[in-house]
Amino acid sequence: MTTTDSPPDAKPGRLKPPTRRRNHGDTERGFSRVFRWITTGSGAFLLLVLAAVAVFLIARGLPALTASPEELSGKGGLPTGMNSLWDLVGPLVFGTLLAAAMALLLATPVAIGIALFISHYAPRRAASVIGYVIDLLAAIPSVVFGLWGGRTLAPIISDVWVWIAGVLDFLPFWTVNVTNTGRSLATASVVLAVMVLPIITAVSREVFLQTPTLHEEAALALGATRWEMIRTAVLPFGRSGVISAAMLGLGRALGETMAVLMILSPGILYSFQIFDSGQQQTIAAFIASRFAEASGLAVNVLIATGLALFVITMVVNMGARAIVARRKEFSGAN
Amino acid sequence: MVGALALSLAACGSDPTTGAEPSEAAGGEAISGDFAGAGASSQESAMEAWVAGFQSANPDATINYDPAGSGAGREQFLAGGVQWAGSDSALDDEELAASAEVCGPDGAIDLPIYVSPIAVAFNLPGVDSLNLSSEVIANIFNGEIKKWNDDAIKADNPDAELPDTDITPVHRLDDSGTTENFTEYLSATAPEAWTDDPDGVWPLEGGDSAEGTSGVVGVVTDTEGAVTYADASKVGTLGTASIKVGEEFVPFSAEAAAATVDASDRIEGRAEHDFAIEVNRTLTDPSTYPLVLVSYAIACTNYADEAQGNFVKAFLAYQASEEGQQAAADAAGSSPISAATAEQVNAAIESITVG
């Protein structure tokens, strides 16, 4: 290729050049250099896309942020009775966080259970079958979850919600309302939980499998039962991994659109009535339901709510990173 | 099929005994070219049938209808982007004035081309029909009446076996002509029980909702005790209400819906051939059913482009014809407009000038 590729026997007496070449970065020649550019380009491209999205959201959302209350309720298509953007974005952010938090609350314990079963309890063959099924669950499109949740799950699960509301009836200061259709945030959260289950399970399983065998055997040698071994060796080791898994799931739950759109009877309120209809709405589903008919300033309003979702997702992810980084020292991973 | 046959016969023009008569049915000479319309999604299934029927007679014509919504359709029409628009409400005065820009000094006209009864549909096992006055309907949807065995419902249905089931009203989540007509009916006939203004967006807070006609019908079908309002042809196996007209309770029917259009007055102060009507919701004649959706075809009174003008005239004439209305009824379950209405619509279409 080049002159440096000349046969070694041409300069028999010198031994140093190879090392020096490496010191000067000469391992990068030919395609190796091109490949370096490709990977650098890919990394830069990712940042570029993110920046482009951020710029788009800010630029197109700005007219809604600066518009007067009259314009917003007129052309901006704010629901009647609202006169500032925050009246709309606030309840939407609330609904989005509530739905995602409930989904996570339901999904994480189950996901840890499945992951532990696969990594520590199941016979090898059963473990691989279950792992396969979990991956399959991740491949189901969200619109299918939406159809299933709206048409099959909601009518069935509504009986459960009615029962729970009846049990909670003793609360003196709070009446629990419940809808007979099952199209409530509670149902939407259950479906969201099913959707984030695969992602949390898959990551947790990988982390649990990496528990040093020495730790586990040490625990067993000290007379621990298998549950005690998991509690003292596996869970502390996997904690940061499980947290980042949950945060990945949270990211999906925050942005999920179709399933919520097809299941929930929305309303734009700050409300903890999770079994009733017409109470909450998530940002993503709100945008999807309104965008088709929106024009002019109404589009800017929708994009401004999208900006809010973008910020929330970023904050959540940064928070997750911070937690993981802080826990790393205690996890025993190093 | 008939149209295609007529055309193929007309093409064999050298034979004088077979050519002449059938070719009239196809509207004179065949139309060709690309044409576009946009507007109400309520007309979508009917429009598919109309386009298919028209194209079988005019195979060289390509027609695109974008069911983007009534408002979007009128906007595109006024911007000159489409040759005609479908809309659940007629052009308002401002839009009429704006239409002079694309249509010439005489502006645009509205033609009622699609009439469909709206049914109040409910899911109560064993109950196929109920008599509901508009006050009761309004009170059901605003949450005043909470149980199916409420005295107000019992009073009009002495023979029905009404269960002690909760009423779950379900409304449309999206902005829709169905909601607008339904709320207009309630505020016109039960102003004390229904205090909100007519609007395409459901005005009340809370409650169950779903996207589109199929959405609300699906939810009601899945939920015992639920009730909604929907295009009558799409309610499937649900029970439906007979609404109170005058002193009688009238179930929805195609004839009664068409009769409502005949009995309603045109909006005054418009051009001679503008057929925008104010649906009379407070009719007392029991042969009418005032809970109807009337959707218009909006066209120019003058088309500078000859091909576009000829197309719009031929296509709208086909829509208004008995054959076209029957095709829509078969495909979308709409009510064919009456002969009297059709005559006036045809006169309006005739008046459209080209060139």
For chain A, give every domain's residue range: 67-333
Residue contact A154–B170, C-beta within 8 A: no
**Minimal Cα distance from A263: which residue of B?**
B210
Range from A47-51, A68-72, A87-91, A165-169 carrying the lowest mean pLDDT: A68-72
- Residue B122, min C-alpha distance to chain A (Å): 13
One-letter amino acid at B118 equals I
Identify which of A262, A278, A295 has the shortest CB distance to residue B208.
A278
pLDDT at A295 over 80: no
> Which H helix or E strand runs over B81?
none
Residue contact B226–A180, C-beta within 8 A: yes
pLDDT score for A2 = 44
At A152-175, the pLDDT tens digits run: 999 999 999 999 998 888 888 888
pLDDT at B15 over 50: no
Percent of residues in chain B assigned helix, strand, coil, to nearest 5:
40, 25, 35
pLDDT at B352 over 60: yes
Mean pLDDT (chain B, rounded): 86
pLDDT score for A10 = 47
pLDDT score for B11 = 42
pLDDT at A130 over 80: yes
Residues B107-134: what's their mean pLDDT? Answer: 92
Residues B148-166: what's their mean pLDDT? Answer: 91
Burial of B351 (0-12, 13-18, 19+ CB in 10 A): middle
Residue B5: pLDDT band with limits 50, 70, 90: very low
Q: Are strands B292-300 and B84-87 parallel, antiparallel or unpaired?
A: antiparallel
User: Torsion angle of alpha carbons A243, A94, B167, B133, nearest 10°?
Assistant: -150
pLDDT score for B25 = 39
Residue contact A277–B206, C-beta within 8 A: yes
Three-class SS state of B171: strand
Mean pLDDT (chain A, rounded): 86
pLDDT score for A283 = 94
Interface of B with A in 38-97 (CB under 8 A): 68-69, 71-72, 75
For residues B225 and B121, give the distance between their C-alpha atoms in angstroms, rounded to a whole number. 11
Distances (CA, A) of B215 to A151, A286, B170: 10, 16, 10
For residues A1 and B240, give the distance between their C-alpha atoms in angstroms, rounded to a whole number. 84
Distances (CA, A) of A69 to A64, A82, A283, B205: 10, 9, 21, 21
Q: Are strands B61-66 and B33-39 parallel, antiparallel or unpaired?
A: parallel
CATH number 1.10.3720.10 is the correct assignment for the domain at A67-333: yes
Nearest alpha carbon to residue B250 among B261, B259, B240, B242: B242
pLDDT at B4 over 50: no
Residue contact A179–B208, C-beta within 8 A: yes
One-letter amino acid at B270 equals R
Distances (CA, A) of B41 to A239, A323, B77, B168, B237: 52, 50, 15, 26, 23
Q: Does A276 touch chain B (CB under 8 A)?
A: yes
Burial of A68 (0-12, 13-18, 19+ CB in 10 A): exposed
Q: Does B163 touch chain A (CB under 8 A)?
A: no
Q: What is the 3-state secondary structure (H, E, C) of chain A?
A: CCHHHCCHHHCCCCCCHHHHHHHCCCCCCCHHHHHHHHHHHHHHHHHHHHHHHHHHHHHHHHHHHHCCHHHHHHCCCCCCCCCCHHHHHHHHHHHHHHHHHHHHHHHHHHHHHHHHHHHHHCCHHHHHHHHHHHHHHHHCCHHHHHHHHHHHHHHHHHHHHHHHHHHHHHCCCCCCCCCCCCCCHHHHHHHHHHHHHHHHHHHHHHHHHCCCHHHHHHHHHCCCCHHHHHHHHHHHHHHHHHHHHHHHHHHHHHHCCHHHHHHCCCCCCCCCCCCCCCCCCCHHHHHHHHHCCCCCHHHHHHHHHHHHHHHHHHHHHHHHHHHHHHHHHHHCCC
Nearest alpha carbon to residue A105 among A265, A274, A264: A274
- Residue B323, min C-alpha distance to chain A (Å): 33
pLDDT score for A15 = 53
For residues B97 and B270, give the distance between their C-alpha atoms in angstroms, rounded to a whole number. 11
Residues B11-33: what's their mean pLDDT? Answer: 48
- Residue A254, min C-alpha distance to chain B (Å): 21
pLDDT at B168 over 60: yes
Residue B256: pLDDT band with limits 50, 70, 90: very high
Residues B318-323: what's their mean pLDDT? Answer: 92
Best B208, B220, B228 member to test A by mutation, with max A CBs in 10 Å, is: B208
pLDDT score for A25 = 58
Q: Which two tokens stand for residue B22?
A: 């059938």
For residues B349 and B113, give the distance between their C-alpha atoms in angstroms, rounded to a whole number. 12
> Which H helix or E strand runs over B301?
none
At B188-247, the pLDDT tens digits run: 999 999 999 888 888 888 889 988 888 899 999 999 999 999 988 888 889 999 999 988
Cβ atoms within 10 Å, residue A318: 11
